[in-house]
A = this chain, B = another copy of it.
Amino acid sequence: MSFWVSGRRVLVTGGLGFIGSNLVRKLLDLGAKVRVVDCLRSGDGGNRFNLKDVDGQYELIDGSLEHRAVTETAVDGCDVVFHMAGKVSHIDSLARPLEDLIDNAATTVAILDACRRLNPSARIVIAGTRQVYGTPLRLPVSEDHPLRPPDFNAVSKIAAEYYARVASERLGLSTLVLRLTNVYGPRQLVSHSRASFTGWFIRQALLGETIDLFGSGLQYRDLLYVDDAVNAFILAAEKLPGNGEAWNCGTEEPVSLAEFAEMLVRLAGTGEVRRIPFPPERKQIDIGDFSTDSSRLRAVTGWNPRIGLEEGLRRTVEFYRLFGDHYWSATS
């Protein structure tokens, strides 16, 4: 792993969230000086327990990027900004699109505008999503695949991407976006089913409940263990150009939801798997099979996912067996 971040001042927005907190922990391991901004919006995955054992080793700004003073304080003096805060629920975005727009696009604008004014040399790495592609026209999906957002969450994330691009091209900021595939692992939100099927399945298996697979359960998704996603962010900050481009971050080897659920139940030793018809509100935003062509990211950064599904799930099961009580009903 790279030591480029050692000694650097790094901001992680959404640093109490799933990927954000895992990133913070890795950055601390690597010797970075870490600042976190997080407003612990209810239901979005932020959880104080995610960083409880490293309290005092990082600076916490407890506030919302909607407030200009918070954003300015957050970006001030940072060498690198990882913008991980935001909403990920496709379902919620259709019911409450304005909140989704504010938390994804407006926070990105706020970060970029604050950097323009106060910290124009910062490296700005933005968490994007493969959801911007919608239902794939071909597999694996490469970056030149058309953007066909299937829900409002994908729209706000597309807007964030374009903001990053224009901020680089017109304002000279150093920006880039990683379009993440499904990520799973320790510290993921597992308290409701609207965010990610991975977290929800993990909850159900560990609590001895029944995992409902929609339809055949043979929808294929490429899955990334959170440590591999974190490594991609750190390598991206060091090695990718800051020209506002978006880079795929996923794998070309998808697994079926059924395979994921069954392996999970086997490793957990609890829970069971059942197949049910597709609920209409899920079907309408389902994107079918997905796998990611990340060859550009791999070629430029040397990144490669290292943790296979079985090992990733083993670690995840172990984490929630130990600490699940801090997650089952957590709303922030």
A134-159 interface bits toward B, Cβ cutoff 8 Å, 1 = contact, 0 = none: 00000000000000011110111011
Taking A98-B113, A158-B159 as known contacts, 7 extra A-B pairs with beta carbons closer than 8 A to each other, sorted by chain A number, are A97-B109, A101-B106, A101-B109, A105-B105, A150-B166, A152-B166, A154-B162
Beta-carbon contacts of A228-262 to B below 8 Å, as 1s and 0s? 00000000000000000000000000000000000
Contact with B along A97-131 (1 / 0, CB 8 A): 11001100110011011000000000000000000
Q: A112 vs B105: C-alpha distance in the bound complex, in angstroms?
A: 17
Query: Is the CB–CB distance between B151 and A170 below 8 Å?
Result: yes
Q: Are A162 and B166 in contact (CB under 8 A)?
A: no
CB distance from A267 to the nearest CB of B (A): 36
- The A contact surface, by secondary structure, is helix
CB distance from A107 to the nearest CB of B (A): 10
**Counting CB contacts under 8 A, is A284 at the interface?**
yes
Distance, CA A13 to CA B162, complexed state (A): 26
Kindly supply a per-residue 1/0 record for chain A positions 18-53, scoring 1 wherever the CB is within 8 Å of any chain B CB and 0 otherwise: 000000000000000000000000000000000000
B98 touches A109 (CB 8 A): yes
Taking a contact as CB atoms under 8 Å apart, the answer to whether B94 and A284 are in contact is no
Report chain B residues within 8 Å CB of A110: 98
Contact partner of A94 (CB less than 8 A), chosen from B150, B159, B162, B170, is B170
Per-residue contact bits, chain A 59-70, to B (CB 8 Å; 1 contact, 0 not): 000000000000
Q: Is A171's beta carbon under 8 Å from chain B?
A: yes
Q: Does A163 make an interface contact (CB < 8 A)?
A: yes
The 9 A-B residue pairs whose C-beta atoms are closest, nearest first, are: A159-B159, A155-B162, A97-B109, A98-B109, A149-B162, A101-B109, A97-B113, A155-B163, A152-B166
| Complex contacts, A149 vs chain B, CB 8 Å | 162, 165-166
Whether a CB of chain B sits under 8 angstroms from the CB of A207 is no
Instruction: Give the shortest distance, in Å, between A129 (CB) and chain B (any CB).
Output: 14
- Residues from chain B with a CB closer than 8 A to the CB of A162 are 149, 154-155, 158-159
With an 8 A cutoff between CB atoms, is A285 at the interface?
yes
Within 8 Å CB of A163, what residues of B?
A: 97, 152, 155
Best-buried of A102, A154, A170 by chain B (most CB within 10 Å)? A170
| Contact in complex: A285, B98 (CB < 8 Å) | no
Inter-chain contact B113/A106, CB cutoff 8 Å: no
Q: How far is the CA of A152 from the CA of B101 in the complex (A)?
A: 15
- Chain B residues whose CB sits within 8 angstroms of the CB of A158 once the complex forms: 158-159, 162
A102-B97 contact, Cβ under 8 Å, with A155-B159, A163-B155:
no
Contacts of A94 in B (CB 8 A): 170-171
| Residues of B contacting A169 in the complex (Cβ-Cβ under 8 angstroms) | 150
0/1 per residue, A157-188, Cβ < 8 Å to B?
01100110110011100000000000000000
* Complex Cα gap A171–B152 (Å): 11
1/0 contact trace for A274-300 toward B, CB 8 Å? 000000000011000000000000000
